[in-house]
Amino acid sequence: MAVSFGIVGLLGTRLKKLEYGGWIAVGFAAAAMIVGLLVAAAEMLSPGSYTDQSFTWLHLPGSPGTFPNGFSLVMGSLVDPISALMLLVVTVVGFLVMLYSIGYMHHDHGLPRYYAELSLFLAAMTGLVIADNLLEFFLFWELVGVCSYFLIGFYYEKPSAASAAKEAFLVTRIGDVLFLLGIFLYFTVYATAGGGAGWAASGFKFVSGSTPFLAGAMGGNTPLLTVAGLMMLAGAAGKSAQFPLHAWLPDAMEGPTTVSALIHAATMVAAGVYLLVIASLFLGFTPDDRLAIVAVGGFTTFFAATMAVVHPDIKRVIAYSTISQLGYMVLGVGAGFAMVGMYHLFTHAFFKALLFLAAGSVIHAVGTQDLFKMGGLRKPMRVTAIAFAVGALSLSGIPPFAGFFSKDDVLSSVYTAAQSNPAYWPFLILAYATVFLTAYYIFRAWFLAFSGDKSRDPTLPAAHEGPWTMQVPLYVLSALAIVAGVLPFTPSFGSLFSLGGATSVPPTYGTTDLVLSSVSVGLGLGGILLARALWGNGRVYVLAPDSALQPMRTILLERYYIKAGYDWVGLRIVYGGSRVADFFERYVIDGTIHGFERLGTKLSNGLREGQTGLVSDYASYVVAGVIGLLILLLFVAPLIIASLGGP
Amino acid sequence: MTDLSVASFLFLSGALLAIGLFGILTRRNFILLLIAVEIAMNAAILNFVYFAAFAGTSQGLSGQAIAVVLVGLAATEIAVGLAIVLALNRQRGSINVGEATTLKL
């Protein structure tokens, strides 16, 4: 099953590249979705089963001391509960976005490129999900990265899009390199130690037959493992746009909205979280690692949410929200409940894709992303308004929408972890504060775009709903954004969240703790009410120019000057370093080479003087040469032979 | 023949070679140059003849044969050389080798 899926996914891309229309891409995406659903269903029917199909790609002989059996690099596909779950998310959202693209991208140029890249992305993403070993995972990880780069730069004529693509590529690259180093480190540690030796020798595979290599079996809690875990965190932070590698994601909004929905909200950025989940299950994090993960997640959650509060661009508000929600997932993993992170990933994929697609509808209709130009869109765009509201409610964690359950699980898992380690408390508080901010910023966006009587910028075209291809995904995703939170409560679906008994099924947390839940719901509602008071009914809340909050707003709009800091580092340090290198290259290396060249020229010029063209001169050289040889032969050679003790 | 020592014959050859070389190095007239080359070459041919004579009739035949071949070779060389002289004269109006220096870099 999984193998056939891989073939469909991979070959599909090639076929699609030959074709023009997006319908072929949609067809393949639909096929992928059906396979994804079937895989998930099969997994649910036999809970906790592992299907692994792989072949050895290359085998390195080992040394007798440390590696008696050598090392095999395998390629294969693995269907286990989490990959089935992730497959479900990727293919469903992938199909819906692909369908939506038909309507949304209708007027754009370069459609074959778009569909080919999007298909390649889907194939790579599914490959990543079903990869059965860490190195294969890394390969696909790079592939989705490069697809992201392509698609962010889809409007490559725009300098901002091109530079955003480059930025995304470079920033995630930092994480990728560290991730690779982390793999090496794990290899080094596990190659020699206990239960992990089998894991390392079998080519980083996640399973051995039908038994997962779980972190417990590998054991060990060494400083080296902590560092390796931090490398994993860095890799995940690059991909999932966690602080301090977060800056690329808002800029990635230069790509088409569909791309933002699929890659930069639902799937690729979630790959970082998926990596953390996998790493925590199969490789194991030390307590220090976990604290670092919680710190990164908690801080990013809050930090990104604050930036979303003031931004005027509808897509960037949602992008910051994505960073913030990814922070929640990281929090869940860091708190020691990897499946809670997966749970939030699962619900978030649906409601965030919904938000992006709804925002896409708005952008498609009015042709601007500036919230302050929109307004009154509720009437002409009823479906979109409702869909956006559903997504926003889910994001804000209002029951019974999906976001409520998963976000609550994250919060309560951090709460549980904080019981044993007080260092987690500040991040729990940050996470709660973010609940309030989240509700506020997303409803600020909703009120700005949809409430009121008419748009604030009279030059905007009259809004209209998109074609059916754009509406159907909104319906489906709205439904999912409502029910996705409850799905894991059903025993069969819930089995996707359990992995070899290593983690608890999420619904045992959160919902039982009424106090924690009501606090978060209360904060969410408070945020919504504040947004309504400030921005409701088409009002625009203008901050007084002399307000004490003004400098703060500037800082937030400037993204805490982190981007500027990056630029500074890039310009001064990297560019300066390059200048030094350039100087070295130019004057020291080239200077040496040119010196030799000039020496050669001088010598040749000297020799050239001898080339008179006169036959008699040449003849005299010959004669001189012969005489010289004779002298050598008759007088010098006997001396040398005599000195060597010869005859 | 037997009165004369090998050294005196070799001295004659050496003198001829020196005269030829001197001519090659100093003459600018192409024809004189060719004559000088001939003189130097004859020194070599003479050497073959002497040693063939000293070696006796049975072993010396090959030396005499080579001497005859070399005479033929000298004749062809002169023929080619004179052809070059003619061509040079036709092109430049002069057979001074000091002026024919355009084949250098």
**pLDDT the model gives residue B16:** 92
Does B33 reach chain A within 8 Å, measured CB to CB? yes
Task: Determine how β-strand A71-79 pairs with β-strand A211-212.
Answer: unpaired
Give the pLDDT mean for A284-298.
81
Work out the average pLDDT over A462-481: 79
Confidence of residue A503 (pLDDT cuts 50, 70, 90): very low
DSSP states of A344-395:
HHHHHHHHHHHHHHHHHHHHHHHS--BGGG---TTTTTHHHHHHHHHHHHHH
Residue in chain B lying closest to A617 (CA): B25
Partners of B33 on chain A (C-beta within 8 Å) are 615-616
A619 and B25 in contact by Cβ < 8 A? yes
Q: How far apart are CA A97 and CA A108, in angstroms?
A: 16
Start-to-end Cα distance in chain A: 87
Average pLDDT over residues A467-494: 77
State the pLDDT at residue A628: 92
Q: How many CB atoms lie within 10 A of CB A16?
A: 25
Does residue A107 sit at the B interface (CB-CB below 8 Å)? Answer: no
Q: Specify the pLDDT at position B82.
A: 92
CA distance A191 to A176: 22
Per-residue pLDDT, A629 = 92
pLDDT at A501: 46
Which pLDDT score, from 0 to 100, does residue A509 have? 44
pLDDT digits (tens, 9 = 90+) for A316-355: 888 888 888 888 888 888 887 777 888 888 888 888 888 8
DSSP A51: E
pLDDT for A203-232, tens place per residue? 677 766 666 666 655 655 677 777 878 888
Chain A hits for B104, Cβ within 8 Å: 611-613
Q: Band the pLDDT of B73: cuts 50, 70, 90.
A: very high
**B100 contact residues in A (CB cutoff 8 A):** 613, 615
Distance from CA of B67 to the nearest CA of A (A): 23
Q: Is the pTM of this model over 0.90?
A: no
**Residue A546 pLDDT:** 65
Classify the C-alpha dihedral A284-A288-A293-A298 as positive or negative.
Answer: positive
- pLDDT, one tens digit per residue, over B2-59 is 556 778 888 999 999 999 988 888 888 888 989 999 999 999 999 888 888 887 777 7
**Which residues from A are below 8 Å from B27, CB to CB?**
616
pLDDT beyond 50 at A2: no
Q: Which helix (H) or strand (E) holds A76?
A: strand A71-79
Mutation for testing the B interface, residue in A609, A615, A617 having most B CBs under 10 Å: A615
- Tens of pLDDT, residue by residue over A248-272, are 777 777 778 888 888 887 788 888 8
Q: Among all residues of chain A, which has the CA nearest to that of B18? A: A623
Nearest to B103 among A608, A613, A620 (CB): A613
In the predicted structure, residue A18 carries a pLDDT above the cut 50: no
Cα–Cα distance for residue pair A79/A52, rounded to 1 Å: 6
- Cis peptide preceding A507, ω within 30 of 0: no
Q: How confident is the model at residue A372 (pLDDT cuts 50, 70, 90)?
A: confident
Question: Quick check: A374 pLDDT over 80?
Answer: no
- Of A611, A615, A620, Cβ closest to residue B97: A615
Which of B26, B103, B105 is opposite residue A616, by nearest beta carbon? Answer: B26
Q: Which ipTM was obtained for this model?
A: 0.72
Is it the case that residue A195 has pLDDT exceeding 60? no
The whole-number pLDDT of residue A560 equals 63
Tell me what the mean pLDDT of segment A468-497 comes to: 77
Q: Which of A608, A616, A620 sits opposite B97 (nearest CB)?
A: A616
Q: Is A645 on the interface with B (CB under 8 A)?
A: no
Nearest to B104 among A611, A620, A623 (CB): A611
Query: What band does A62 get if pLDDT is binned at 50, 70 and 90?
Result: low
Considering only residues 10 to 49 of chain A, which have any Cβ-Cβ distance to chain B shorter than 8 Å? Answer: none
Which whole number is the average pLDDT over A377-383?
77
Write down the pLDDT at residue B4.
Answer: 67
Whether the CB of B8 is below 8 Å from some CB of chain A: the reply is no
Closest A-chain CA to B17 = A623
Per-residue confidence (pLDDT) for residue A19, from 0 to 100: 45
| Test the B interface: residue of A616, A621, A627 with most B CBs within 10 Å | A616
Check pLDDT > 80 for residue A235. Answer: yes
Asked if B26 is an interface residue toward chain A (Cβ–Cβ < 8 A), one would say: yes
Q: Any idea which of A575-579, A589-593, A617-621, B48-52 has the lowest mean pLDDT?
A: A575-579
- Residue of B24, B26, B101 lying closest to A612 (CB–CB): B101
Minimal Cα distance from A609: which residue of B? Answer: B105
* Interchain proximity B28–A616, CB inside 8 Å: yes
Helix (H), strand (E) at residue B44: helix B30-55
Confidence of residue A7 (pLDDT cuts 50, 70, 90): very low
Which among B21, B101, B105 has CB closest to A614?
B101
Contacts of A630 in chain B (CB under 8 A): none
B71 — pLDDT class (breaks 50, 70, 90): very high
The confidence score (pLDDT) of residue A198 equals 63
pLDDT tens-place string over residues A510-537: 445 667 777 778 888 888 878 777 777 6
Q: For A618, which residue in chain B has the nearest alpha carbon?
A: B25
> For the ranges A107-121, A216-230, A625-639, B1-15, which has the lowest average pLDDT?
A216-230
Q: Is A615's CB within 8 Å of B105's CB?
A: no
- What domains lie within chain B, and their CATH numbers? 6-99 (1.10.287.3510)
Mean pLDDT calculated for residue range A489-502: 64
Mean pLDDT over each residue of chain A, to the nearest integer: 76
**CA A615 – CA A589 distance, rounded (Å):** 43
Give the pLDDT score at A647: 57
